[in-house]
Protein backbone atom coordinates (compact mmCIF):
# COMPACT_ATOMS: atom_id res chain seq x y z
CA UNK A 1 0.00 0.00 0.00
CA UNK A 2 1.20 3.55 -0.70
CA UNK A 3 0.83 6.37 1.82
CA UNK A 4 -2.54 7.39 0.44
CA UNK A 5 -4.02 3.96 1.14
CA UNK A 6 -2.81 3.53 4.71
CA UNK A 7 -5.26 3.31 7.63
CA UNK A 8 -6.55 6.62 8.92
CA UNK A 9 -6.24 7.70 12.54
CA UNK A 10 -8.61 6.05 15.01
CA UNK A 11 -11.99 7.65 15.63
CA UNK A 12 -12.07 6.54 19.27
CA UNK A 13 -9.71 5.91 22.11
CA UNK A 14 -10.81 2.48 23.29
CA UNK A 15 -7.98 0.39 24.64
CA UNK A 16 -7.96 -2.73 22.50
CA UNK A 17 -6.15 -5.95 23.35
CA UNK A 18 -5.62 -8.69 20.78
CA UNK A 19 -4.76 -12.29 21.70
CA UNK A 20 -3.05 -14.56 19.21
CA UNK A 21 -0.91 -17.68 19.34
CA UNK A 22 1.14 -18.67 16.32
CA UNK A 23 0.80 -22.39 16.99
CA UNK A 24 -3.00 -22.28 16.72
CA UNK A 25 -2.69 -21.34 13.04
CA UNK A 26 -0.63 -24.43 12.27
CA UNK A 27 -3.04 -27.07 13.58
CA UNK A 28 -5.29 -29.15 11.34
CA UNK A 29 -8.53 -31.08 11.90
CA UNK A 30 -7.51 -33.35 9.03
CA UNK A 31 -7.66 -33.30 5.26
CA UNK A 32 -11.05 -32.35 3.90
CA UNK A 33 -12.47 -31.10 7.19
CA UNK A 34 -14.23 -27.74 6.77
CA UNK A 35 -12.79 -26.25 9.96
CA UNK A 36 -9.38 -24.88 9.04
CA UNK A 37 -7.33 -23.17 11.77
CA UNK A 38 -5.15 -21.74 8.99
CA UNK A 39 -7.80 -18.98 8.77
CA UNK A 40 -6.33 -17.58 11.98
CA UNK A 41 -2.98 -17.08 10.29
CA UNK A 42 -4.60 -15.48 7.26
CA UNK A 43 -6.48 -13.09 9.55
CA UNK A 44 -3.33 -12.22 11.46
CA UNK A 45 -1.45 -11.48 8.23
CA UNK A 46 -4.11 -8.98 7.19
CA UNK A 47 -4.23 -7.40 10.65
CA UNK A 48 -0.48 -6.81 10.57
CA UNK A 49 -0.48 -5.93 6.87
CA UNK A 50 -3.01 -3.16 7.51
CA UNK A 51 -0.90 -1.88 10.40
CA UNK A 52 -3.63 -2.46 12.96
CA UNK A 53 -1.05 -3.60 15.50
CA UNK A 54 -0.22 0.08 15.89
CA UNK A 55 -3.65 0.68 17.42
CA UNK A 56 -3.82 -2.14 19.96
CA UNK A 57 -1.73 -4.26 22.32
CA UNK A 58 -1.00 -7.78 21.04
CA UNK A 59 -0.41 -10.61 23.48
CA UNK A 60 0.34 -14.31 23.26
CA UNK A 61 -1.94 -15.85 25.91
CA UNK A 62 -0.93 -18.72 28.12
CA UNK A 63 -2.67 -22.00 27.26
CA UNK A 64 -5.49 -22.72 29.70
CA UNK A 65 -4.69 -25.24 32.40
CA UNK A 66 -6.67 -28.39 33.17
CA UNK A 67 -8.05 -26.66 36.27
CA UNK A 68 -9.25 -23.70 34.25
CA UNK A 69 -10.98 -25.85 31.66
CA UNK A 70 -12.63 -27.96 34.35
CA UNK A 71 -14.34 -24.81 35.62
CA UNK A 72 -16.99 -25.82 33.07
CA UNK A 73 -16.12 -29.16 31.51
CA UNK A 74 -16.38 -32.45 33.42
CA UNK A 75 -13.22 -34.11 34.69
CA UNK A 76 -13.75 -37.37 32.78
CA UNK A 77 -14.36 -35.49 29.54
CA UNK A 78 -11.25 -33.36 29.99
CA UNK A 79 -9.25 -36.48 30.81
CA UNK A 80 -10.38 -38.05 27.53
CA UNK A 81 -9.42 -34.91 25.58
CA UNK A 82 -5.96 -34.97 27.15
CA UNK A 83 -5.29 -38.65 26.52
CA UNK A 84 -6.76 -39.50 23.12
CA UNK A 85 -4.55 -39.18 20.04
CA UNK A 86 -4.78 -40.46 16.47
CA UNK A 87 -2.35 -43.22 17.48
CA UNK A 88 -4.42 -44.60 20.37
CA UNK A 89 -7.90 -43.71 19.13
CA UNK A 90 -8.79 -47.26 18.08
CA UNK A 91 -8.10 -48.53 21.60
CA UNK A 92 -10.04 -45.69 23.25
CA UNK A 93 -12.90 -45.38 20.74
CA UNK A 94 -15.45 -47.40 22.71
CA UNK A 95 -14.81 -45.58 25.99
CA UNK A 96 -14.93 -42.05 24.51
CA UNK A 97 -17.84 -42.45 22.10
CA UNK A 98 -20.18 -40.92 24.70
CA UNK A 99 -18.10 -37.73 24.54
CA UNK A 100 -18.69 -37.24 20.81
CA UNK A 101 -14.98 -37.64 20.07
CA UNK A 102 -14.05 -39.31 16.82
CA UNK A 103 -17.28 -38.40 15.04
CA UNK A 104 -17.17 -36.87 11.57
CA UNK A 105 -17.61 -33.34 12.89
CA UNK A 106 -15.25 -33.77 15.84
CA UNK A 107 -12.40 -36.03 14.73
CA UNK A 108 -9.40 -36.87 16.87
CA UNK A 109 -6.40 -35.00 15.47
CA UNK A 110 -2.81 -34.40 16.47
CA UNK A 111 -2.15 -31.83 19.20
CA UNK A 112 -5.84 -31.10 19.64
CA UNK A 113 -5.56 -30.75 23.43
CA UNK A 114 -2.90 -28.08 22.97
CA UNK A 115 -5.00 -26.34 20.34
CA UNK A 116 -8.06 -26.03 22.54
CA UNK A 117 -5.97 -24.96 25.51
CA UNK A 118 -4.85 -22.02 23.36
CA UNK A 119 -8.42 -21.15 22.39
CA UNK A 120 -9.60 -21.23 26.00
CA UNK A 121 -6.54 -19.42 27.31
CA UNK A 122 -7.16 -16.55 24.92
CA UNK A 123 -10.75 -16.04 26.06
CA UNK A 124 -9.92 -16.35 29.75
CA UNK A 125 -7.09 -13.85 29.41
CA UNK A 126 -9.27 -11.50 27.36
CA UNK A 127 -11.90 -11.59 30.10
CA UNK A 128 -9.27 -10.88 32.72
CA UNK A 129 -7.97 -7.85 30.82
CA UNK A 130 -11.51 -6.47 30.58
CA UNK A 131 -12.36 -7.19 34.19
CA UNK A 132 -9.15 -5.68 35.51
CA UNK A 133 -9.75 -2.49 33.54
CA UNK A 134 -6.67 -2.99 31.37
CA UNK A 135 -8.78 -3.08 28.16
CA UNK A 136 -12.08 -1.76 26.83
CA UNK A 137 -12.25 -4.30 24.00
CA UNK A 138 -10.44 -7.65 23.87
CA UNK A 139 -10.20 -9.74 20.68
CA UNK A 140 -9.57 -13.48 20.50
CA UNK A 141 -10.23 -14.85 17.02
CA UNK A 142 -9.07 -18.28 18.26
CA UNK A 143 -12.19 -18.42 20.43
CA UNK A 144 -15.93 -18.50 19.83
CA UNK A 145 -16.38 -22.30 19.85
CA UNK A 146 -19.98 -22.18 20.97
CA UNK A 147 -21.30 -25.72 20.44
CA UNK A 148 -19.19 -27.60 23.02
CA UNK A 149 -21.16 -28.95 25.98
CA UNK A 150 -20.01 -29.82 29.46
CA UNK A 151 -19.15 -33.39 28.47
CA UNK A 152 -19.74 -33.57 24.72
CA UNK A 153 -17.87 -32.28 21.68
CA UNK A 154 -20.17 -30.99 18.95
CA UNK A 155 -20.07 -29.04 15.72
CA UNK A 156 -16.25 -28.76 15.48
CA UNK A 157 -16.17 -27.50 19.10
CA UNK A 158 -14.48 -29.52 21.83
CA UNK A 159 -14.03 -26.96 24.62
CA UNK A 160 -16.28 -23.98 25.20
CA UNK A 161 -13.92 -21.04 25.59
CA UNK A 162 -16.92 -18.70 25.61
CA UNK A 163 -18.40 -20.19 28.76
CA UNK A 164 -14.99 -20.08 30.43
CA UNK A 165 -14.56 -16.44 29.42
CA UNK A 166 -18.00 -15.53 30.75
CA UNK A 167 -17.31 -17.31 34.05
CA UNK A 168 -14.17 -15.19 34.34
CA UNK A 169 -16.13 -12.00 33.60
CA UNK A 170 -18.67 -12.88 36.28
CA UNK A 171 -15.89 -12.52 38.84
CA UNK A 172 -15.87 -8.79 38.04
CA UNK A 173 -19.26 -7.90 36.56
CA UNK A 174 -22.82 -8.32 37.77
CA UNK A 175 -24.36 -9.04 34.38
CA UNK A 176 -22.86 -10.34 31.16
CA UNK A 177 -24.62 -10.30 27.80
CA UNK A 178 -23.60 -12.93 25.25
CA UNK A 179 -24.38 -12.15 21.58
CA UNK A 180 -23.91 -14.75 18.86
CA UNK A 181 -23.68 -13.77 15.16
CA UNK A 182 -22.86 -17.25 13.89
CA UNK A 183 -25.27 -18.71 11.33
CA UNK A 184 -25.66 -21.67 13.70
CA UNK A 185 -27.45 -21.34 17.03
CA UNK A 186 -25.17 -20.80 20.04
CA UNK A 187 -26.56 -23.84 21.82
CA UNK A 188 -23.60 -24.69 24.05
CA UNK A 189 -23.46 -21.24 25.64
CA UNK A 190 -27.24 -21.03 25.98
CA UNK A 191 -27.33 -24.41 27.72
CA UNK A 192 -24.56 -23.45 30.13
CA UNK A 193 -26.46 -20.40 31.42
CA UNK A 194 -30.05 -21.50 30.79
CA UNK A 195 -30.93 -21.17 34.46
CA UNK A 196 -29.00 -17.98 35.23
CA UNK A 197 -30.23 -14.40 35.46
CA UNK A 198 -26.69 -12.98 35.47
CA UNK A 199 -26.03 -14.03 31.89
CA UNK A 200 -28.41 -13.22 29.04
CA UNK A 201 -27.80 -15.02 25.75
CA UNK A 202 -28.85 -13.53 22.42
CA UNK A 203 -28.39 -15.66 19.32
CA UNK A 204 -29.34 -14.58 15.79
CA UNK A 205 -29.15 -17.60 13.49
CA UNK A 206 -30.70 -19.73 10.77
CA UNK A 207 -33.49 -21.96 12.01
CA UNK A 208 -35.88 -24.33 10.31
CA UNK A 209 -35.90 -27.16 12.83
CA UNK A 210 -33.40 -29.19 10.83
CA UNK A 211 -30.46 -26.83 10.24
CA UNK A 212 -27.65 -27.67 12.68
CA UNK A 213 -27.88 -27.83 15.66
CA UNK A 214 -31.67 -27.86 15.36
CA UNK A 215 -32.21 -25.58 18.35
CA UNK A 216 -32.79 -21.86 18.82
CA UNK A 217 -36.54 -21.37 18.44
CA UNK A 218 -38.38 -18.44 19.99
CA UNK A 219 -39.80 -20.80 22.59
CA UNK A 220 -36.37 -21.50 24.11
CA UNK A 221 -36.21 -18.76 26.72
CA UNK A 222 -34.58 -20.20 29.86
CA UNK A 223 -35.67 -21.96 33.04
CA UNK A 224 -35.88 -21.13 36.73
CA UNK A 225 -34.09 -17.91 37.55
CA UNK A 226 -32.99 -17.79 33.94
CA UNK A 227 -36.51 -17.77 32.55
CA UNK A 228 -36.69 -15.17 29.75
CA UNK A 229 -32.91 -14.63 29.84
CA UNK A 230 -32.31 -16.70 26.71
CA UNK A 231 -33.26 -14.70 23.61
CA UNK A 232 -33.33 -16.30 20.17
CA UNK A 233 -33.79 -14.69 16.77
CA UNK A 234 -34.57 -17.56 14.36
CA UNK A 235 -34.21 -16.50 10.73
CA UNK A 236 -34.89 -18.10 7.38
CA UNK A 237 -32.25 -18.71 4.76
CA UNK A 238 -31.15 -15.89 2.45
CA UNK A 239 -31.55 -12.85 4.72
CA UNK A 240 -29.79 -9.76 3.33
CA UNK A 241 -27.92 -6.88 4.97
CA UNK A 242 -30.87 -4.53 5.34
CA UNK A 243 -33.15 -7.06 7.00
CA UNK A 244 -30.33 -8.51 9.11
CA UNK A 245 -29.36 -5.07 10.41
CA UNK A 246 -32.92 -4.10 11.17
CA UNK A 247 -33.80 -7.13 13.28
CA UNK A 248 -30.39 -7.30 14.94
CA UNK A 249 -30.35 -3.66 15.99
CA UNK A 250 -33.98 -3.69 17.12
CA UNK A 251 -33.49 -6.74 19.31
CA UNK A 252 -30.00 -5.90 20.59
CA UNK A 253 -31.04 -2.39 21.58
CA UNK A 254 -34.05 -3.71 23.48
CA UNK A 255 -31.98 -6.39 25.20
CA UNK A 256 -29.24 -3.96 26.26
CA UNK A 257 -31.75 -1.36 27.47
CA UNK A 258 -33.60 -3.94 29.55
CA UNK A 259 -30.75 -6.12 30.84
CA UNK A 260 -28.18 -3.31 31.22
CA UNK A 261 -25.16 -5.59 30.95
CA UNK A 262 -21.91 -4.69 32.67
CA UNK A 263 -19.93 -6.53 29.97
CA UNK A 264 -20.63 -8.08 26.55
CA UNK A 265 -19.21 -11.12 24.81
CA UNK A 266 -19.70 -10.90 21.03
CA UNK A 267 -19.20 -14.08 18.99
CA UNK A 268 -18.53 -13.14 15.36
CA UNK A 269 -18.98 -16.41 13.52
CA UNK A 270 -18.26 -15.60 9.87
CA UNK A 271 -20.35 -18.45 8.45
CA UNK A 272 -23.22 -15.96 8.38
CA UNK A 273 -21.50 -14.33 5.39
CA UNK A 274 -22.88 -14.87 1.91
CA UNK A 275 -21.08 -17.64 0.07
CA UNK A 276 -19.90 -19.54 3.15
CA UNK A 277 -19.40 -23.26 2.56
CA UNK A 278 -21.76 -24.16 5.42
CA UNK A 279 -23.82 -21.00 5.71
CA UNK A 280 -27.11 -19.89 4.23
CA UNK A 281 -27.35 -16.11 4.64
CA UNK A 282 -26.84 -13.28 2.15
CA UNK A 283 -24.85 -10.94 4.38
CA UNK A 284 -21.80 -8.93 3.27
CA UNK A 285 -18.57 -8.37 5.20
CA UNK A 286 -19.54 -4.74 5.79
CA UNK A 287 -22.97 -5.93 6.89
CA UNK A 288 -21.47 -8.37 9.39
CA UNK A 289 -19.08 -5.70 10.65
CA UNK A 290 -21.92 -3.24 11.13
CA UNK A 291 -23.19 -5.44 13.97
CA UNK A 292 -19.79 -5.15 15.66
CA UNK A 293 -19.83 -1.38 15.15
CA UNK A 294 -23.32 -1.15 16.65
CA UNK A 295 -22.40 -3.10 19.79
CA UNK A 296 -19.21 -1.08 20.19
CA UNK A 297 -21.26 2.14 20.15
CA UNK A 298 -22.73 1.32 23.58
CA UNK A 299 -19.32 1.76 25.20
CA UNK A 300 -19.62 -1.39 27.32
CA UNK A 301 -16.51 -3.56 27.95
CA UNK A 302 -16.64 -6.13 25.15
CA UNK A 303 -14.89 -9.39 24.36
CA UNK A 304 -14.86 -10.12 20.60
CA UNK A 305 -14.48 -13.74 19.54
CA UNK A 306 -14.30 -15.81 16.37
CA UNK A 307 -16.49 -18.82 15.68
CA UNK A 308 -17.66 -20.51 12.50
CA UNK A 309 -16.54 -19.59 9.02
CA UNK A 310 -15.55 -22.03 6.32
CA UNK A 311 -14.72 -20.04 3.20
CA UNK A 312 -11.53 -19.05 4.89
CA UNK A 313 -10.33 -16.22 2.63
CA UNK A 314 -13.60 -14.43 3.50
CA UNK A 315 -13.28 -15.29 7.18
CA UNK A 316 -9.88 -13.58 7.20
CA UNK A 317 -11.27 -10.55 5.40
CA UNK A 318 -14.19 -10.32 7.81
CA UNK A 319 -12.19 -10.64 11.03
CA UNK A 320 -9.49 -8.27 9.83
CA UNK A 321 -12.17 -5.72 8.98
CA UNK A 322 -13.86 -6.20 12.34
CA UNK A 323 -10.51 -5.76 14.07
CA UNK A 324 -10.31 -2.37 12.35
CA UNK A 325 -13.83 -1.57 13.58
CA UNK A 326 -12.81 -2.39 17.14
CA UNK A 327 -9.77 -0.14 16.79
CA UNK A 328 -11.80 2.68 15.27
CA UNK A 329 -9.57 2.67 12.20
CA UNK A 330 -10.66 3.00 8.57
CA UNK A 331 -8.70 0.66 6.31
CA UNK A 332 -8.61 0.76 2.50
CA UNK A 333 -10.44 -1.76 0.36
CA UNK A 334 -7.18 -2.71 -1.35
CA UNK A 335 -5.64 -5.66 0.47
CA UNK A 336 -2.07 -5.35 1.78
CA UNK A 337 0.52 -7.49 0.01
CA UNK A 338 0.99 -10.33 2.47
CA UNK A 339 2.61 -13.74 1.97
CA UNK A 340 -0.83 -15.15 1.17
CA UNK A 341 -1.91 -12.32 -1.15
CA UNK A 342 -2.54 -14.66 -4.09
CA UNK A 343 -5.32 -16.48 -2.22
CA UNK A 344 -7.54 -13.40 -2.45
CA UNK A 345 -7.72 -13.26 -6.22
CA UNK A 346 -9.09 -12.31 -8.61
CA UNK A 347 -10.23 -9.09 -6.90
CA UNK A 348 -7.66 -8.67 -4.08
CA UNK A 349 -9.97 -6.45 -2.05
CA UNK A 350 -11.26 -6.48 1.51
CA UNK A 351 -14.90 -6.21 0.46
CA UNK A 352 -15.56 -8.43 -2.56
CA UNK A 353 -19.07 -8.69 -3.91
CA UNK A 354 -20.30 -11.77 -2.02
CA UNK A 355 -24.03 -11.12 -1.91
CA UNK A 356 -26.67 -11.92 -4.53
CA UNK A 357 -29.16 -9.05 -4.92
CA UNK A 358 -31.68 -11.28 -6.68
CA UNK A 359 -31.62 -14.06 -4.09
CA UNK A 360 -35.03 -14.87 -2.65
CA UNK A 361 -35.49 -14.37 1.08
CA UNK A 362 -38.61 -15.34 3.02
CA UNK A 363 -37.52 -12.95 5.79
CA UNK A 364 -40.14 -10.30 5.12
CA UNK A 365 -40.47 -7.20 7.28
CA UNK A 366 -43.76 -8.60 8.56
CA UNK A 367 -42.15 -11.88 9.65
CA UNK A 368 -39.27 -10.05 11.30
CA UNK A 369 -41.69 -7.73 13.06
CA UNK A 370 -43.42 -10.78 14.56
CA UNK A 371 -40.10 -11.99 15.91
CA UNK A 372 -39.32 -8.56 17.32
CA UNK A 373 -42.73 -8.36 18.98
CA UNK A 374 -42.34 -11.79 20.59
CA UNK A 375 -38.97 -10.82 22.01
CA UNK A 376 -40.20 -7.47 23.32
CA UNK A 377 -42.99 -9.31 25.11
CA UNK A 378 -40.46 -11.78 26.53
CA UNK A 379 -38.27 -8.97 27.81
CA UNK A 380 -41.21 -7.44 29.66
CA UNK A 381 -40.86 -10.29 32.15
CA UNK A 382 -37.16 -9.66 32.74
CA UNK A 383 -36.27 -7.84 35.94
CA UNK A 384 -34.66 -4.54 35.04
CA UNK A 385 -30.95 -4.67 35.90
CA UNK A 386 -31.29 -7.44 38.51
CA UNK A 387 -29.38 -6.59 41.64
CA UNK A 388 -26.64 -9.13 42.25
CA UNK A 389 -24.24 -8.54 45.11
CA UNK A 390 -20.68 -9.40 44.19
CA UNK A 391 -18.58 -10.48 47.13
CA UNK A 392 -14.81 -10.34 47.21
CA UNK A 393 -13.49 -11.49 43.84
CA UNK A 394 -11.84 -14.90 44.23
CA UNK A 395 -8.43 -15.55 42.68
CA UNK A 396 -8.72 -15.37 38.94
CA UNK A 397 -7.76 -18.38 36.89
CA UNK A 398 -6.13 -16.01 34.42
CA UNK A 399 -3.89 -14.72 37.22
CA UNK A 400 -2.60 -18.19 38.00
CA UNK A 401 1.12 -18.42 37.36
CA UNK A 402 1.48 -21.83 35.72
CA UNK A 403 5.24 -21.83 36.30
CA UNK A 404 5.30 -21.58 40.10
CA UNK A 405 1.71 -22.48 40.99
CA UNK A 406 1.09 -19.32 43.01
CA UNK A 407 -1.95 -17.05 42.75
CA UNK A 408 -0.32 -13.83 41.62
CA UNK A 409 -1.26 -11.06 39.25
CA UNK A 410 1.15 -11.23 36.33
CA UNK A 411 0.66 -8.32 33.95
CA UNK A 412 4.30 -8.33 32.97
CA UNK A 413 3.53 -6.86 29.56
CA UNK A 414 1.96 -3.83 31.22
CA UNK A 415 4.54 -3.41 33.95
CA UNK A 416 7.43 -4.13 31.61
CA UNK A 417 6.56 -2.98 28.07
CA UNK A 418 9.73 -4.61 26.74
CA UNK A 419 8.04 -7.99 27.27
CA UNK A 420 5.22 -7.03 24.91
CA UNK A 421 5.38 -8.48 21.41
CA UNK A 422 7.00 -6.08 18.97
CA UNK A 423 6.04 -5.72 15.33
CA UNK A 424 9.22 -7.40 14.11
CA UNK A 425 8.35 -10.42 16.27
CA UNK A 426 4.89 -10.91 14.82
CA UNK A 427 4.91 -14.38 13.23
CA UNK A 428 3.20 -13.55 9.96
CA UNK A 429 5.30 -15.79 7.72
CA UNK A 430 6.35 -18.86 9.65
CA UNK A 431 2.87 -20.25 10.32
CA UNK A 432 2.23 -21.00 6.64
CA UNK A 433 5.23 -23.26 6.37
CA UNK A 434 4.25 -25.64 9.17
CA UNK A 435 4.18 -29.30 8.22
CA UNK A 436 0.63 -29.53 9.56
CA UNK A 437 -0.74 -27.05 7.01
CA UNK A 438 -0.98 -28.32 3.46
CA UNK A 439 -1.50 -26.06 0.46
CA UNK A 440 -5.08 -27.26 0.10
CA UNK A 441 -5.87 -25.85 3.55
CA UNK A 442 -6.12 -22.44 1.87
CA UNK A 443 -8.45 -23.37 -0.94
CA UNK A 444 -12.17 -23.95 -0.80
CA UNK A 445 -13.31 -26.77 -3.12
CA UNK A 446 -16.79 -25.34 -3.47
- The widest CA-to-CA distance across the chain, in whole angstroms, is 61
Is 288 annotated as belonging to a binding site?
no
Q: Is 143 known as a binding-site position?
A: no
Do residues 164 and 192 make contact, with C-beta atoms less than 8 angstroms apart? no
105 annotated as belonging to a binding site for a ligand: yes
- The reply to whether omega before 346 is within 30° of 0 (cis) is yes
Residue 351 catalytic? no
Distance CA 336, CA 126 (A): 27
44 appears as a binding residue in the annotation: no
Catalytic residue among 44, 53, 146, 147: 147
Is 155 annotated to bind ligand? yes
Q: Binding site annotation covers 438?
A: no
Sequence ranges of the binding site for a divalent metal cation: 182, 184, 271
Q: Which residues carry a binding-site annotation? A: 105, 155, 182, 184, 271, 310
Binding residues for substrate: 105, 155, 310
Which residues are identified as catalytic? 147
Amino acid sequence: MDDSSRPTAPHSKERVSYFYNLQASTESYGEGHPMKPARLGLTHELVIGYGLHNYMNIYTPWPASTTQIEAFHSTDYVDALKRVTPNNYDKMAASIKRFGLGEDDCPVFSDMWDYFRMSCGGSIMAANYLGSGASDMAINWMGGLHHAKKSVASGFCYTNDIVLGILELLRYYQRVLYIDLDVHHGDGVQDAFYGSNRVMTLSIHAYDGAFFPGTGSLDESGIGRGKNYAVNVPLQMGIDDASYHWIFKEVARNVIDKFQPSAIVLQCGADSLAGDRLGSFNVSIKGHGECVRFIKSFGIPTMVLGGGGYTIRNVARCWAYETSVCCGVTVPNELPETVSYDYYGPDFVLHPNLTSPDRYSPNTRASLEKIRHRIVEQLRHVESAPSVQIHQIPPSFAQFNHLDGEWAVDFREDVQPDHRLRAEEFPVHRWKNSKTVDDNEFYDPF
